[in-house]
Amino acid sequence: MKGDGPIWALGTMSGTSLDGVDAAMILTDGVSIFEFGPTAYRPYSDAERAVLRSALGKWHDALIVPDAAEIIETAHAEVIFGFSGFEIVGFHGQTLAHEPGGRGTHQAGDGIFLAEQIGAPVAWDFRTADVGLGGQGAPLAPFYHFACAKYLGAKHPVAFLNMGGVGNITYVDPGFAAPEDRGALLAFDTGPANAPSNDLIQSRQGKSYDADGAIAAQGAPDQARVDQFMRDPYFSKVPPKSLDRNDFPYLADLVLGLSDADALATLLACSAAGVARAVEMLPKRPAEVLVTGGGRKNPVLMEAIQARVAARTVSIDERRLDGDMLEAQAFGYLAVRVARGLPTSAPSTTGVAASVGGGIVSQPKRKRA
């Protein structure tokens, strides 16, 4: 991986919704995006998902963690074997627990082992260094969002909103030269996105999610409960700040006694209210909020967000970016930055004291021909 010209990287992401592995190729020099390549998705089976789910929060459990790691490594190797022509893999792994001020941040999956399996260099462990230097270790997509804003030719501040299991927002001022420049970015987690709705519909109806918001559309949010939720201290905390998937465990109790439809509508309204509060915390009103992640496919959630946010919100696909693959691309992009010694986070994205290059690169003993 010599020189500083563009190379093809293969980014992979297993997000907090536990649905599967996204993989996407990207041609980048670690600064600019030159081209997007093929993508793939490898869903987890129900049995795999059950193991991963049972490992959440149990990052120290010597019985469950190896099982979870094996599922993660195997699923990633499977999807990676379908690609060719990349020089490095970005491997995020699966977050099992995230508590930057306490127990640390823990992603299952060993990049050394994966590098041997696939016979290619693997950049991984992206979050630990940032946390070690006092940062949140998340979100990490913001440096990539900066590159995306440049790629789109944005002239005015724009926001990227990822609605996955947890929500995160990145404010980008494209007038700056580099993402680590002071004022170029502000990023943080907005609150829950789809995880609480997924958990509710899983426990009440055995479905993994409310497709197209069809059930939520039949209900109405209970505003008093939404207001109560918005009194959680997280929403008045000054960013940068980040969340664990299960940081609002009381949400299930908050909607007790409501019908399935009203409960889902209330949970969606809680997610949307978190986004609205986040947009109020941005340095300037963005010209547009570009929505990425699975939540953009839920029209009820999209309407709830637009109703509360004083900026135009659009699905990122309308701006020619792939909202299903943005995070996978981000970890391909970050892999190249790690390999080239470029920073991956900054005070305005994770609260770290100074910009830091997180992640390590593991080389295989033998490269795949």
Ligand X SMILES: Nc1ncnc2c1ncn2[C@@H]1O[C@H](COP(=O)(O)OP(=O)(O)OP(=O)(O)O)[C@@H](O)[C@H]1O
Ligand Y SMILES: CC(=O)N[C@H]1[C@@H]2OC[C@@H](O2)[C@@H](O)[C@@H]1O[C@H](C)C(=O)O
Output 199 or 327, the one with its CB closest to ligand Y. 327
Residues 6+ apart with CB under 8 A from 177: none
* Residue found under tokens 């496919």: 297
Distance CA 329, CA 322 (A): 9
Q: Does 19 bind ligand X (CB under 6 A)?
A: yes
Distance CA 294, CA 369 (A): 36
Residue 233-252 contact track with ligand Y, rule CB under 6 A, x = bound: ---------xx---------
The only residue of 107, 117, 194, 271 in contact with ligand X, by rule CB under 6 A: 194
Q: Does 209 bind ligand X (CB under 6 A)?
A: yes
Interface stretch with ligand Y, choices 28-36, 136-144, 230-238, 317-325 (CB under 6 A): 136-144
The only residue of 192, 294, 351, 357 in contact with ligand X, by rule CB under 6 A: 294
Q: What is the DSSP letter of 324?
A: T
Cβ(265)–Cβ(255) under 8 Å? no
Q: Does 166 bind ligand X (CB under 6 A)?
A: yes
The only residue of 105, 198, 266, 355 in contact with ligand Y, by rule CB under 6 A: 105
C-alpha torsion angle, residues 18, 12, 242, 310 (rounded to 10): -90
Output 16 or 362, the one with its CB closest to ligand Y. 16
**Is 19 annotated as a binding-site member?**
yes
Chain positions 320 to 349 lying near ligand X, rule: CB under 6 A, are 327
Tokens of 202: 């899983």
Give the interface size with ligand X as a residue count (CB under 6 A): 21
Q: Does 123 bind ligand Y (CB under 6 A)?
A: no
Interface stretch with ligand X, choices 81-89, 203-211, 303-311, 345-353 (CB under 6 A): 203-211
The only residue of 26, 75, 79, 141 in contact with ligand Y, by rule CB under 6 A: 141
Give, to the nearest 10 degrees, the angle between helix 46-55 and helix 64-80: 130
The only residue of 295, 332, 351, 357 in contact with ligand X, by rule CB under 6 A: 295
- 191 Rama class: left (phi>0) / alpha (psi -120 to 50) / beta: left
Residue 37-76 contact track with ligand X, rule CB under 6 A, x = bound: ----------------------------------------
Distance CA 235, CA 11 (A): 31
Question: What ranges make up the beta strands (E) of the chain?
Answer: 7-14, 20-28, 33-43, 88-99, 104-108, 122-124, 158-163, 166-172, 185-192, 288-292, 312-315, 360-362
What is the nearest approach in angstroms of ligand Y to the Cβ of residue 235? 16
Output 198 or 350, the one with its CB closest to ligand X. 198
**Binding residue ranges for ATP:** 15-22
